[in-house]
Structures are given as C-alpha cells and as structure tokens.
Amino acid sequence: MRSMKTLLDLLAAGKTLGESWEPAGFASRREAGEALERLSGSIDDPLPAAGRPGLDRAILHADGASRGNPGPSAIAAIIHLPTGEELASVAKRIGRATNNVAEYRAVIEGMRLARDLGVRELDVLLDSELVVRQITGAYRIRSKDLEPLAREVAETARHFGRCSFEHVAREMNREADRLANEALDRIEDER
C-alpha cells in the first residue's frame, strides 16, 4: 500500500525521491512525485478547506483505546485517499479517559488533521457504533463528558463540504486500532 507518510518521513530524513518512492510503496518515482505535487498544492494554498484544490475526498479511520475504562488511554487516526494511499496519521496518549471519550478524541484529532491537509469531503469510519450513532443523532447523548466532544465534532465537520460518519466492523479499522494500542503500550512501558 502506498504511504505518503512514509515517503515524507524518508524525504525529511534526507533521502532523495529516487531513494524513497519504492520503500514508500509507490509504483514509480513519477507516481510518488505526482502525489507530492498534489499534496503540496493542497497544503500551500491559504484558502479555507472548502476552497482548496487537490484533496477532494479522503477517508479517516479513527480509534480510541482505554485500559480500565476509565484508565490510561490513547487515540489514533489515519487519513487515506480513496485509492488507499495514506496521507497522514496521528497516534498519541491522551491520559486517563473512558473508551468513549477516547473514541471521540480520535475522531476530533483525525478531522483536524484532514482539515489541515485541505480535504474537502471526509468519510469518517469508526468501529464504535455508539459514537457513530451519537454523532449522527440516532442516539441521544446522556453523558456530560461526551456532550462537549460531540459539539466539537459537529463544529469541526462544518469545515468540510461534506462529512459522513459510518460504523464499520473492527476488522475494517484494524490499523487505527493497532496504532492506538501501540501508543497505549508506550504508557505501560514507561511505568
């Protein structure tokens, strides 16, 4: 699978495009160069996300993890183009939280990242049915801890021309789950 993040990491480490395209999973140097041009054009433009060229649509996989519920928690978000090419990801510890708070925080971090990349239309995929149903209004939010997070999701969604939320099976969200748990494992390793 093509990974823009890996390509950018290799270039930041001083590798040339010729040395980086293949380890990043691109089919050719030209394909990697074109992907860089698309990304560059979308993030250099100072227009708001709705007016930026380039990144018409992206897919966000987000997941939160908590051990203890509440307990030590972490989040992960991965943004892909519809072609499967990874654009960016984030995984980090968020302190002590419940599973649901971690899920919401993962969505918020991922949406912010997509907004900063200039994505115009975003499909958010989560394996938390509760959070998806709350965000879409199918379920009422009863937790006072989740209400401000749901408002933040709604506010961030306004930055996109279209933003959808879909519940997917855990297997479809495996990479985000892995990243969240790796970030959480780092908490336990530090003890």
pLDDT digits (tens, 9 = 90+) for 81-103: 998 889 999 999 999 999 999 99
Is 128 in the same domain as 168?
yes
User: What residue numbers bound the domain in which 136 lies?
Assistant: 57-189
What's the mean per-residue pLDDT of the chain?
A: 86
Q: Measure the CA–CA gap between 106 and 184, rounded to whole angstroms.
A: 13
pLDDT digits (tens, 9 = 90+) for 108-151: 999 999 999 999 999 999 999 999 999 999 999 999 999 999 99
**Whether this model's pTM surpasses 0.95:** no
The residue among 20, 87, 23, 17 whose CA lies nearest residue 54 is 87
Q: By the 8 A CB rule, do 119 and 99 touch?
A: no
Q: Which two tokens stand for residue 53?
A: 């060229």
Is 37 in the same domain as 128?
no
Torsion of CA 38, 43, 44, 46, to 10 degrees: 130
Q: Which amino acid is at 114?
A: A
Domain count for the chain, please give it.
2
Is 31 in the same domain as 107?
no
Give the mean model confidence (pLDDT) for residues 152-170.
96
The residue among 117, 97, 125 whose CA lies nearest residue 183 is 97
Is 80 in the same domain as 149?
yes
Is 29 in the same domain as 107?
no
Q: Measure the CA–CA gap between 127 and 103, rounded to whole angstroms.
A: 9
